């Protein structure tokens, strides 16, 4: 076997759907010397992390912690703990991640009641009421707050009362919204919510923050069958993260260091200030893309600040543009998924990646690269429109 060289990955500007760029303080935290996962110092760190997560989720829920795994592990944890065979679950499917929830519901032996909307659009309260009316005894309504595959932003403020009147729990996927857009678990009546570290928290992928309220915990504690996943069984995990400190698995120490530091950065910036930054940069990017003649794909009025889906012009080579951005500018953006593959680009402005300089650089680079493929637009139009948007804000 040939000798393997020292690791030297390029310093990319990560403007895709995740991961996002990571602050140097977070990287430094990951290099901190290890302690044991039951060391008193690590147990103290766990308590601090839980409190910081409660701040970001805007909740007082006792069971608020990071699952050892990526955002999809958060999704699976919530569903496998709540569901037993035969349970009815209303799942909103308007993109890839609603489809993923349906798959997990089926693997749990549940009965998904699929509520569909065109990709890029959101669900109205009336649609949710109609879906619930089709159920005999719904247990959960599962919605994606920020659909990463489309850039659609699902309103949640008026949903919980509808769900609770039907006797169900509201489960929310906030993987691409937490710490980039408002997520108010307690105020909005969300029973279960999960996220991932690699998006707006600007931490490397590897942990899935989640929070469950007392109503959700009661459902788990009254189960008639064992949770189908040993590793993701919250009845055991909560004993490790709670006062008992009962050993369950070896927590990823360095990732928890990183998450704690990433959450400290969120706290220092302040949630409102952080949200304004994401909104301001999104609006400037949207103005620049529109000036370049590139229409946004998500439903108007319901577009995420953290991820923008933009339609690819006819005759433009999707793969070639993304490759040129990577090779010439060190910029990564995302391809479309599912039926949007080859039709849209997904541009993430999340956490550390959401900066004015990144917006202006991307718009300038896109204009130059599109020009090489014969696409014509007024020179400098994108950057000029972005500057105007910043001036207005």
pLDDT in tens, 44-62: 999 999 999 999 999 999 9
pLDDT per residue over 330-361, tens digit each? 999 999 999 999 999 999 999 999 999 999 99
The residues, any chain, with a CB within 8 Å of residue 138's CB and separated by 6 or more, are 88, 89, 90, 113, 132, 166, 167, 168
Q: How confident is the model at residue 377 (pLDDT cuts 50, 70, 90)?
A: confident
Which residues 6+ apart lie within 8 Å of 314 measured at CB? Answer: none
The pLDDT of residue 94 is 98
Average pLDDT, the chain: 97
What are the sequence ranges of the domains in the chain? Answer: 24-267, 270-392
Q: Is the pLDDT of residue 175 over 90?
A: yes
Q: What is the pTM of this model?
A: 0.96
| Alpha-carbon dihedral sign for residues 81, 87, 89, 95 | positive
For residues 105-126, give the mean pLDDT.
97
User: How much is the pLDDT for 393?
Assistant: 85
The third-level CATH classification (topology) of the domain covering 24-267 is 3.40.640
The answer to whether 216 touches 239, Cβ cutoff 8 Å, is no
Using alpha carbons, list the distances in angstroms from residue 171 to 68, 141, 243. Answer: 20, 6, 26
Are residues 240 and 30 in contact, defined by beta-carbon separation less than 8 angstroms? no
Burial of residue 101 (number of CB atoms within 10 Å: 0-12, 13-18, 19+) = buried
What confidence score (pLDDT) does residue 247 get? 87
**With 90 as the cut, is the pLDDT of residue 89 above it?**
yes
Tell me phi and psi for residue 4, to 5 degrees. -90, 130
Maximum alpha-carbon separation in the chain: 65
**Cis peptide bond upstream of 19, omega within 30:** yes
Which tokens sit at 176?
């691409």
Number of neighbouring beta carbons within 10 Å of residue 119: 25
Match domain 270-392 to its CATH number in 2.102.10.10, 3.40.50.1000, 3.60.40.10, 3.90.1150.10.
3.90.1150.10
Distance separating alpha carbons of residues 288 and 316, to the nearest angstrom: 18
What is the 8-class DSSP label of residue 18?
S
Give dist(CA 111, CA 35) in Å, integer.
44
In contact, 304 and 181? CB cutoff 8 Å: yes
Instruction: State pLDDT tens for residues 189-246.
Output: 999 999 999 999 999 999 999 999 999 999 999 999 999 999 999 999 999 998 888 9
The pLDDT, as a whole number, for residue 242 is: 86
Asked whether the domain spanning 270-392 has the same topology as the one spanning 24-267, the reply is: no
Percent of the chain having pLDDT more than 70?
100
363 pLDDT higher than 90: yes
Higher pLDDT, 37 or 311: 311
The pLDDT, as a whole number, for residue 92 is: 98
| 57 Cβ neighbours under 8 A, 6+ residues apart | 64, 178, 183, 185, 193, 209, 211
């Amino acid at each position: 076997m040939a000798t393997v060289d020292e690791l030297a990955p390029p310093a990319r500007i990560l403007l895709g759907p995740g991961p996002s760029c990571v602050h140097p303080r977070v990287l430094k935290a990951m290099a901190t010397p290890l302690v044991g996962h039951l060391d008193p110092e690590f147990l103290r760190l766990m308590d601090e992390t839980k409190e910081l997560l409660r701040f970001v989720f805007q909740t007082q829920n006792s069971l608020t912690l990071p699952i050892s795994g990526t955002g999809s592990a958060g999704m699976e944890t919530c569903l496998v703990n709540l569901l037993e065979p035969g349970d009815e679950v209303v799942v909103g499917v308007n993109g890839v991640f609603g489809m993923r929830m349906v798959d997990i519901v089926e693997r749990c032996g549940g009965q998904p009641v699929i509520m569909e909307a065109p990709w890029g659009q959101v669900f109205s309260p009336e649609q949710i009421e109609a879906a619930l009316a089709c159920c005999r005894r719904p247990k959960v309504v599962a919605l994606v707050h920020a659909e990463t595959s489309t850039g659609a932003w699902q309103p949640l403020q008026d949903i919980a009362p509808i769900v609770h009147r039907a006797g169900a729990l509201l489960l929310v996927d906030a993987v691409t919204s937490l710490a980039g857009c408002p997520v108010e678990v307690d105020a909005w009546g969300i029973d279960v919510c999960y996220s991932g570290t690699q998006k707006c928290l600007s931490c490397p992928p590897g942990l899935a923050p989640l929070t469950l309220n007392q109503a959700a915990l009661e459902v788990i504690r009254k189960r008639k069958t064992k949770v189908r996943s040993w590793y993701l069984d919250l009845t055991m995990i909560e004993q490790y993260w709670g006062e008992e400190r009962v050993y369950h698995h070896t927590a990823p120490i360095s990732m928890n260091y990183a998450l704690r530091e990433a959450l400290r950065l969120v706290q220092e910036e302040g949630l409102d200030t952080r949200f304004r930054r994401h909104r301001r940069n999104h609006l400037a990017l949207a103005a620049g893309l529109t000036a370049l003649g590139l229409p946004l794909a998500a439903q108007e009025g319901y577009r995420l600040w953290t991820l923008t889906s933009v339609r690819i012009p006819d005759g433009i080579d999707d793969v070639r543009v993304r490759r040129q951005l990577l090779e010439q500018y060190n910029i990564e953006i995302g391809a479309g998924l599912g039926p949007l593959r080859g039709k849209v680009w997904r541009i993430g402005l999340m956490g550390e990646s959401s900066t004015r300089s990144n917006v202006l650089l991307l718009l300038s680079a896109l204009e130059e690269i599109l020009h090489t493929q014969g696409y014509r637009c007024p020179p400098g139009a994108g950057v000029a429109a972005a500057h105007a948007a910043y001036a207005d804000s």
